[in-house]
Amino acid sequence: MKRLWGNLLLGTSILLAFGFGALLLSLPQLKPGLDFMDKHRAVELLLAAFALVFSGVQYRDSKHQSNNLRFILDSIPTTCIGRFPGHVAKIAEIVTTAKISLDIMADCVDYGSFFDPDAHQSLFRAIRQAAMNNVEVRLLVCGRPQPITQNSFFFGKDLSERLDNRDFRRYLSIYLDCLQRDTNFQHWLRSSLTNTEVESWVLGCLGRGGDAHQEHPLSAIFEKCLNVCETNGNFKGGEDEEFTTLLLLRQRYFEEKLKGDGVQVRQQPNEEAIFLWLKDAEREALFAHGSSLDKDSAQGFRTLDTNLLQVFQSIFEDRWAKAVAAS
């Protein structure tokens, strides 16, 4: 019906344009004294009228083609949603539509928070809102929580090497600006300076679990992290442990918030080659390869394929049953 009205409107516009053109062309006969400039102006107006009609046709056709393209994309079982961190925003969009369940499997609880803080905030809020709407949310961390996700090109590199990269310096600047404006995180961080539970967790993530018997072995590093957040500080090459600790503390902060909203968080010792976001019991899923390529960050995908959904849900259920509650 809408298309019929559109065609009628277009046809009417064409008739009006031709009528207007005929009127303009007949002006010399209606007014013999019309000079050359008046005739020239009439032709210009006629061309302008035809241009408007043509643009209307083009707009209608392009809109129709756009709708057809969207229909085709929605009907494809599996589509690409872009490389990390660009696909974090897409994950947030899907999470907001969860009604029954949401199962997540990744190498951290704050996927994308360093590389795209704004997109991660949208994802974080969507997960919390889902839990508060009585959606069952399960989050499985695979392996030791990673400060820099495996899906990033910068995974596994030391800070000096990262800082040599212009893109990383830009990411770091945006990330620190976000933390320096987040007073809630700063308050939490200050309260964690003498929190032995948080310190023990960070030591375990750093592979320094054997130092847990010492009295606040990370106190100086915690102070450095707080100073960076409160005084517009930064990191320099060689401060790998300080930088990593800040990212881990940020992750711990998010984890506590999620748990407080009813999100179930478990951890397994083994890493996984794929990360999952499964929505509403095999209705839709997003997945990303769990290791970065040589020059590019990992690619993400969205799928409605029934077979893939069943496989992914089976993988998650198997890993979840063997995992332990996060401390």
- Beta strand 264-268 with 136-142: parallel, antiparallel or unpaired? parallel
What count of other Cβ atoms lies within 10 Å of the Cβ of residue 50?
Answer: 15
How many whole angstroms separate alpha carbon 218 and alpha carbon 239? 13
> Contact, 226 vs 189, CB < 8 A?
yes
How many whole angstroms separate alpha carbon 4 and alpha carbon 1? 5
Query: Residue 305 in 3-state DSSP?
Result: coil
Structure token digits, residue 75: 């009907």
Please report the DSSP string for 106-145 in residue order. Answer: ESSSSTTTTT-HHHHHHHHHHHHHHHHTT-EEEEEEESSP
Provide the whole-model pTM: 0.75
Among 155, 192, 184, smallest CA distance to 171 is for 155
Query: Residue 76 in 3-state DSSP?
Result: coil
> Contact, 315 vs 103, CB < 8 A?
no
How many whole angstroms separate alpha carbon 84 and alpha carbon 109? 16
What are the beta bridge partners of residue 70? none
31-48 pLDDT tens trace: 444 454 455 555 455 444
Among 323, 183, 201, 297, smallest CA distance to 251 is for 201
> Cα torsion for 87, 89, 93, 94, to the nearest 10°?
30
Query: Residue 155 in 3-state DSSP?
Result: coil
List of residues 6+ apart from 174 with CB closer than 8 A: 117
What per-residue confidence (pLDDT) applies to 27?
A: 46
What per-residue confidence (pLDDT) applies to 169?
A: 96
What count of other Cβ atoms lies within 10 Å of the Cβ of residue 150?
Answer: 24
How many whole angstroms separate alpha carbon 153 and alpha carbon 125? 26
Q: Which residues of the chain have pLDDT under 70?
A: 1-76, 212, 290-296
How many whole angstroms separate alpha carbon 196 and alpha carbon 162? 31
The residue with tokens 């960076």 is 228
